[in-house]
Amino acid sequence: MGGDKRNKRQKREDYRAALHDEGATELPRKKFYRQRAHANPFSDHCLIYPATPDKMDWSSLFPDYVASEDVPQDQEDKGVATVPAEEQQLGNQEPKALEKKPRKLTQDVEVADIGCGFGGLLIALAPALPDTLILGLEIRVSVTQFVEDRIKALRAQNLEKKLYRNIGVLRANTMKFMPNFFKKAQLSKIFICFPDPHFKARKHKQRIVSATLNSEYAYVLRPGGIVYTITDVPDLHEWMVGHFEAHPSFERVSEEEQEADPCVTIMRTETEEGKKVERNSGKKFVALFRRLDDPPFGDELERMEE
């Protein structure tokens, strides 16, 4: 039995190593990236993250958008480099020391797909938003590696057209470290697609939408920016709607405006979970929320005094 597990692990490692050959264009196969469907966001994962957004090095994720000028040699701040997900192992191993001077991009990441899964939404958004940098955030090691390899293969397949250069994926725990990666009002769109419903009441604290987390989304989202949510679980849909409508920084987008948004069509049809729901003739519940302008500071003081 132990030998079978070792043989399967070796096959996975050999397969992934072959995909990393220079110029490889073969799309990865999911069976070599199997992992549990969910990960506990409160566990101590072996993650690498910057102390502040300014110290994040995005150059390995978006090499086509690196600014031409070199980083000043006398720059004192150091950044955290991104590394392949497969090099971030779970367990007792310490992460590599990866501090280096960050290279600046010509533009910031503007769209975040929280819990991007196997990357279906990322791949579909890339040509739909060609001038926007889009980042997938995923906590599971093997799933993140699958998306990395998928993006690499698609870029290699489309060298002349230079497609899929505007998307990247990062292994991260959004519930803990989102403000470490994004500055205030940096994002224009946040996607939360088919999140883990955590059905049991004692597990609700693990849901990706909550009063506390919504404040973090409000912090990184610019006024007028949109949070997109979709699920096939009615109870979770009501939970997300209730928590966003109760938050003073958000208002729900009208159904008419929602249905006119091309990103909604993509979100409904292109995620792996969305396709699974479609195959099972299930129902999808969609809700969008707009980030409101912050009130003048004097108004906040008056409300506090009241």
**190 marked ligand binding residue:** no
Tell me how far apart the alpha carbons of residues 193 and 232 are, in angstroms, rounded to a whole number.
10
- At 251, is the secondary structure helix, strand, or coil? strand
Laid out side by side, the sheet with 99-100 consists of 56-57, 79-81, 99-100
User: The tokens of 281 are what?
Assistant: 């003739």
**193 marked ligand binding residue:** yes
**251 marked ligand binding residue:** no
Phi/psi region, residue 7 (left: phi>0; alpha: psi -120 to 50; beta: rest), is: alpha
**117 marked ligand binding residue:** no
Q: How far is CA 192 from CA 1, 58, 304, 305, in A?
A: 39, 22, 32, 35
Examine the residue annotation and report whether 294 is marked as an active-site residue of this protein: no
User: The tokens of 122 are what?
Assistant: 């990322």
* φ and ψ at residue 169, rounded to 5 degrees: -135, 145
Tell me how far apart the alpha carbons of residues 101 and 57 are, in angstroms, rounded to a whole number.
8
Tally of CB atoms within 10 A around 247: 20
User: The tokens of 30 are what?
Assistant: 């999911």
**92 marked ligand binding residue:** no
**138 marked ligand binding residue:** yes
Tell me how far apart the alpha carbons of residues 270 and 217 are, in angstroms, rounded to a whole number.
23
Between the CA atoms of 113, 116, 120 and 122, what dihedral angle is there, to the nearest 10 degrees? 30
Choice among 57, 196, 232, 293 that is catalytic? 196
Task: Tell me how far apart the terminal alpha carbons of the chain are, to the nearest angstrom.
Answer: 68
Question: Is 193 in contact with 240 (CB distance < 8 Å)?
Answer: no
Which residues fall in the annotated binding site?
Answer: 115, 138-139, 173-174, 193, 271-273
Binding residue positions for S-adenosyl-L-methionine: 115, 138-139, 173-174, 193, 271-273
* Active site residue ranges: 196
